[in-house]
Amino acid sequence: MNKQRPKNLNLFTIRFPLPAIVSILHRISGVFLFLLIPFMLWGLSYSLASESDFQFLQDKLSSPWLKITIFLFAASFLYHFTAGIRHLLMDVNIGVELKSGRLTAVLTLIIAFLLIALVGIYLW
Residue 73 lies in a domain: yes
CATH of the domain at 71: 1.20.1300.10
Residue 45 included in any domain = no
Report how far residue 5's alpha carbon sits from residue 3's, in angstroms, rounded to the nearest whole number: 6
In a domain, 53, yes or no: no
pLDDT at 1: 61
Predicted pLDDT at 111: 98
Q: Provide the domain count of the chain.
A: 1
In the prediction, which pLDDT does 6 show? 74
pLDDT over 90 at 32, yes or no: yes
Distance (Å, whole) CA 124 – CA 6: 51
pLDDT at position 8 is 77
Q: How far apart are CA 93 and CA 110, in angstroms?
A: 22
Write the DSSP symbol of residue 2: -
Instruction: Kindly report, residue by residue over 6-21, the tens digit of the pLDDT.
Output: 777 787 888 889 999 9
